[in-house]
Structure 1
Amino acid sequence: MTRLHENTTAQFLVNGELSPPMQVQSGIRQGCPLAPLLFIIAVEFLTLAIQQDRQLQGLVVLGRRQVNQHRFSAFVDDSTVFLSKSGHLPHVLMLVREFGRISGLRVQPAKSQYIFLNKAIDKSVWCGIPVLRKGETVPYLGYEVGFGDLSKINWEKRLRALQRRMGTAERAATTIRDRVDLLNVIVLPAILFTAKMFPPSPAVLTQLVNMQKQFLWRRQLKDDPSRHKFSPSLIFTPKKAGGLGLIAIPVAIQAQRVKTTMLWLLERQDIYHDAWRSWMGLSGDEPAVTPDQQRSEVAHDYGPADENKYN
C-alpha cells in the first residue's frame, strides 16, 4: 500500500484554473477507492470485538441448525449495535472508546441515536446518546427508520427527492429519448431502492406512473392523471426492436419482488427453506445436474447424430 502512494500528487481546480501539482505527504487522495477499503479493514477489529464479547446479548435470530445472536452491522462508517438489554450499552461504549484510543476513531454522540424497542420507556438521553422519541425517525442507509408509518414517510421523502432531481434534469432533457434515458437511469433506480423495503400502495404507484407520463410528454413535474400520446406497446418496446425503451414502473417493481423472493428461497437456510425445497421436490440429496451431464443424457436419448443440435 505504501508503494501505491509513492510520489503521488494532487491539483486544485479553482474557477476553472488548475493549480500546479502538489506532493501528497499524508493521507489518501480524495476519491481514492483504497480509502473505504482501508477503513473497513480497520473497523473490522471493532466488529469482531463486539460480536465475540460474551457479556453482550444481541437480538436472537433463528437459524437452520442453531440460534444466532445479531449484535453488530456496518456499512462503511454507518454502524448499528443491536442489544437485547439497554444496560449493556455502557460496555459497548467502553469497547468503542478503547478502539478509539488505539485507532483514533471517535463516536459522535450528537450524530448517534438510541432506539428502545420497548415503546413504554420514556427517555430523552441514554448514556449520553439521544433517544429517538415516539413519532420520530432517523435516516439510516437511505431509509427513514424509527416510529410511525414508515412506508408513508419514506415514500413522501422519495417523491420530494424525485421532484427535485427531475426538476434539475428537465433543463437538459430536450428530447423524448433524453427523457426516457433519464427516467430509466436516474428515476427508476431511486424508486426501486425505496420499493425494495416499502412496497408502494396503489395510490403511490398511480402517482409515480403519472409523474413518469407528465415528465415524458410535457416536461412537467406534476402527478396529475395523464395519457401516453401513442401506443404504450411501442413506448415500452425495447430500443433494439424499434421502440422507445421506457421501463414500466409497475413491471420493474414486480420483477424486483420476484427476484428478491427467489433469492430468499434459494439462499435462506432455515426450516422454511427446507419446507419449500420439499414442496418443490428438491428435498433429496441428489447432486445437481451439470450442463455437461444434460448434454450427455440428450445424446444418449437421441443418438450421436443429433448431439450437435443441443450444443
Structure 2
Amino acid sequence: MTDAEQREAARQFVNRWMGKGKEDEDGRSYWIDLLTNVLGMDNVTERLNFEKKVVIDGNTKRIDVYIPETRVIIEQKSLGKALDQKIRNSGDVDLTPFEQADRYNGKLTFDERARWIVTSNFAEIWIYDMNQKQPEPTKIALDELQSKYPLLSEKSGHYFITIIQQKTRKYKRPVSNQLAELIRKAIEVSEKEHPDSEYIFLQDNGKLYTDSMLKYHVNIMIYENDIRDDNGNYFEFRTHRFRHTFGVKLTEMKLDDDSIARLLGHKDTRTIPHYRRLRNEALAEDTKAVRDEMNELLAQYRREKENAETR
C-alpha cells in the first residue's frame, strides 16, 4: 500500500465510522476494518482472537479482541463512553476500560501477557505500552487518523516506517516495536507543535533537519570526546555511514540482493555487492588475529615434523 493509498484508506475509514459505534454490534467490524484496510494487516480474521475467555474469581469473562502474535489486548466500549471513566462491571467493581483490560491481562498465562493494551470507544483509540511501570496512553482521535499516522504501518506483526528519500523515492523500512513507540511519540509532538507539516522530525522553527546539521553536531561530539580511528586521526563522520552500517548488517542476515535493495531504498541491486565486499573485508579484519595464530601453529607443527624426520 502506498502512502497515498493509506491516506485515502484512512479517510474512508473515518467517514465510515464517524459518529457511530456500539460495543457489542460493531466492535468486531471496526477492528477488522481498521487493521485490514488502513494498517494493511493480512488475514486479520485468522490472526485475531475475538471474545477470548479468561477466568476471574471463578467467573468466565471475555477479552473483546486479542492479537496473539503481538500480544495486544483490546477493550472496546461504545461511542460516548469516556475511556478514563470508571464503569461498573459484573461483580460490582468500578474500573476504567484500561483497568478492566489489565485485570484480564493478569489472569493470562505468562507467555500470553499483553505487550500492549488498547482501549477504544470508536471515536478514540488509546494505546498503553505495558513495558512502562506506569503506562500512559498514546491517544489517537478518529478524525486525526488520516493526517496523524500515515507514516507508521503494520504488516505480519511487524512495524514499518515510510521514508521519503531525496535521491530515489519513497519506501518502507522495518522498525522494532520500541522504535515504533518512539515514532508515535514524535508524531504526537510534531502534530501538536507543527500541525500543518507532513513531516515528523522538525526544528523548533518548523524547518527540516539537514544532513549538514546532523553531521556538524555529531562531529562536535567526536571532537569533544576525542574519538579517533585506528590511525589516530579524528573519526570522520558522514551521514552515509548509517546506510553502510545497515547494508552490511543486512548482508550478515544472508538476505538476497533484491530484499536488501528494497530495504535500503535502492532502485536496483547494482550497488549491493559493495555491501557484501565491505562485510568480507570486515570479517577478514576481525579474524586476522585468529588466522595468524593458526598459521603460526601450523608452521611450528611443520618445523617439528621436519626436525623429527632429519633425526
Length-normalised TM-score, structure 2: 0.26
Report the structure, 1 or 2, having the larger strand content. 2
Structure of higher RCO (CA pairs closer than 8 Å, 6+ residues apart): 2
Length-normalised TM-score, structure 1: 0.26
